[in-house]
Amino acid sequence: MRLDEKLHAAFEQQLGNHVSGTIIKRGWSYYKNGYVQNAKETAHDTLTGIVRGTDLYAVVMDAEHFGYSTCTCPFDGYCKHMVAVYFQYCAETFGDESAAEQSYFRLLGLVPASELANRGNSDQPQEDTYSHPGEDGTAMEWFAWMEGEYGETWKKCRHSLHALQPVLSALKGLSKDWEPSRRRLHWSTAILFVLEQAERAINTVDSFSRYYHEMSFLRMAEPWIEHLHTLAGELDPASMSDAEQAWCDELIGRMKARALVTDRQLFEWGYMYLTFCEKLSADLAWHKRELDSLLSELGKPSAGERNDSFLYAAVGMLYFLRGEDEQSIHYFAQGAFERIQKLIYPCVAQRMDAGQWDLVERWMSFLNERVYPNRNARNIGPFMALCRRADENCPELPVWNGYMTELLPYSYSELSEHWLSLQRYEDWADLQMFLGVKAEEIDAAAMREVAKAEPHVLLPLYHQSVDSAIASRNRQGYRLAVKQLKKLEKLYKSIKEAAKWDVYLTELVTKNQRLRALQEELWKGKIIK
């Protein structure tokens, strides 16, 4: 697929997510009436254009960061001039107006007149397959209709998911003018449908190339999933009608059913499910009903075909949302830590935000028990971030530093940066000495900062570096020793300890007087005269 086709799909997705049907129709009118004077693609997935209206308006549209898109017209928001420039771009990129027309109808969830005409000319009787369930339809009816209309699209996704973007745009267009609460649920349904199509597609890929296809599919689907999480965050359980609640329950049940499957999956359905749960748990009756359902499922014997780690994590999260942290930890502890740790870290951060340090200590102890036996950079990174944050906000508890030092040497970079940021220069220098880090291996900016604030703490580091360089017994090492000695001399003078420097240098020269090459380098570097 050509790059401009990918950009076309990206802009269509952004317009479908952010622009109302009324604005799209006005933009189409501007495009059809020839008001767009130019539209062109520039660097970094950006479109620019000039539109003639009451005045000349300059448009800049960013496909990757659509919120940065601007127009010089007085309208506050995404305007018809942006839409008109996009349609002009479609027409010019693909050589005729049909691409713009197809995108226009997809964005509104309509069928192009040309397609209807082709249907009418057919000798075979045509069913009105576009008669969708409408705003009064249920989630199950909509899923069934989507499957009937677009259920074979996955077959076109052998190498890419780009065939699904027009489907998603068309589906979203169908509800663009609905009430916001219903539109939100319909758009969530549409996104889940295309994600299911993507998973059907990935399962047809041979194992040899699956990894590369997964990376490609995940990049393409990332904005869809991000939009789904945004839609979930906008849910308001208190204002939902019974029909909307039923629709939401169907979506949640569908995600939960996929999360329970142990087969290798492309998407993290459990995280999508829990995003909805987090919002809906504000309704205590719903929370109790869903928790009881999960506990009931856990009570059933598992035949090895059930993702028990997801179940334990889901129960743990629902207990957490209810403020029952001990119960939450109990269930989290029974799942596979590698699979569920991403859920736990935000829980701890939330307790930190609330200043509930007794609970934070309990959670951090639980995490340390699991991170320590499996120390590696991937596991300790998030845990170290929490330790640093805890030490910054609650420094009176020494346990945070204890966790960080126990994880050495894996925690070196994080701990070094942490102590430097807190201006704990002596601890920072001791850390370098403890791990045998040489002065020349340390970031120059960090060394300058410490030298300016507390130069005396660097003396042992430079002494160690000089000794190590001399011990190499080669000319290159001696030159490094001279370089470090010059810096050491400046440090001694900056702390007004010139006499100590003289004593140190005399001892060093005397100790190594048989190393003629070293003596030569000291003389060349004017360390001795």
Predicted confidence at residue 212, as pLDDT, reads 86
Inter-axis angle of helices 377-393 and 337-353, nearest 10 = 10
Q: Which of 277, 268, 321, 314 is nearest to 295 (CA)?
A: 314
Q: What is the DSSP string of 233-254?
A: HT--GGG--HHHHHHHHHHHHH
> Which of the listed residues 329, 351, 373 is the one where a domain comes to its end?
351
Q: Clarify whether residues 278 and 332 are in a common domain.
A: yes
pLDDT-derived band of residue 20, with 50, 70 and 90 as boundaries? confident
Phi, psi of 346 (to 5 degrees): -65, -30
Predicted confidence at residue 103, as pLDDT, reads 87
Q: Clarify whether residues 378 and 306 are in a common domain.
A: no
Residue of higher predicted confidence among 54 and 476: 476
Give me the mean pLDDT over the 230-255 stretch: 94
- Structural domain includes residue 117: no
Q: Clarify whether residues 100 and 169 are in a common domain.
A: no
- Structural domain includes residue 125: no
Is residue 3 over pLDDT 60? no
Please give the tally of structural domains in the chain.
Answer: 4
Report the alpha-carbon distance of residue 111 to residue 150 in Å, rounded. 14
Q: Clarify whether residues 273 and 258 are in a common domain.
A: yes
Distance set, CA 334 to CA 190, 314, 495 (Å): 34, 11, 57
> Which of the listed residues 289, 320, 351 is the one where a domain comes to its end?
351
pLDDT-derived band of residue 4, with 50, 70 and 90 as boundaries? low
User: Could you tell me the pTM of the whole model?
Assistant: 0.77
pLDDT in tens, 347-356: 999 999 999 9
- Structural domain includes residue 492: yes
Q: Is-contact 106 166, C-beta < 8 A?
A: yes
**Angle, CA 70 vertex, CA 66 and CA 71 arms, to 5°:** 140
pLDDT-derived band of residue 306, with 50, 70 and 90 as boundaries? confident
Predicted confidence at residue 111, as pLDDT, reads 56
Q: Is-contact 461 429, C-beta < 8 A?
A: yes
Give me the mean pLDDT over the 243-248 stretch: 95
Q: Clarify whether residues 307 and 415 are in a common domain.
A: no
pLDDT-derived band of residue 130, with 50, 70 and 90 as boundaries? low
Report the alpha-carbon distance of residue 316 to residue 338 in Å, rounded. 15
pLDDT in tens, 139-156: 999 999 999 889 999 988
Q: Clarify whether residues 282 and 187 are in a common domain.
A: yes
CA atoms within 13 A on the CB side of 93: 21
Predicted confidence at residue 280, as pLDDT, reads 95
Predicted confidence at residue 120, as pLDDT, reads 44
pLDDT-derived band of residue 119, with 50, 70 and 90 as boundaries? very low
pLDDT-derived band of residue 2, with 50, 70 and 90 as boundaries? very low
Q: What percent of the chain has pLDDT over 70?
A: 95
Q: Range of 495's domain?
A: 435-524
Q: Clarify whether residues 66 and 185 are in a common domain.
A: no
Q: Clarify whether residues 408 and 322 are in a common domain.
A: no
Q: Clarify whether residues 271 and 178 are in a common domain.
A: yes
> Which of the listed residues 422, 457, 480 is the one where a domain comes to its end?
422
Q: Clarify whether residues 62 and 73 are in a common domain.
A: yes
pLDDT in tens, 66-82: 888 999 999 888 999 99
- Structural domain includes residue 428: no
Is residue 44 over pLDDT 80? no
Q: Clarify whether residues 319 and 364 are in a common domain.
A: no
- Structural domain includes residue 60: yes
- Structural domain includes residue 123: no
Is residue 289 over pLDDT 80? yes
Give me the mean pLDDT over the 158-175 stretch: 89
Decide: residue 430, CB within 10 A, 0-12 exposed, 13-18 middle, 19+ buried: middle
Round the average pLDDT of the chain to a whole number and report it: 89
Neighbours of 165 (CB within 10 A): 23
- Structural domain includes residue 312: yes
Report the alpha-carbon distance of residue 63 to residue 111 in Å, rounded. 25
pLDDT in tens, 388-436: 999 999 999 999 999 999 999 999 999 999 999 999 999 999 999 999 9
Report the alpha-carbon distance of residue 361 to residue 316 in Å, rounded. 18
Give me the mean pLDDT over the 323-347 stretch: 93
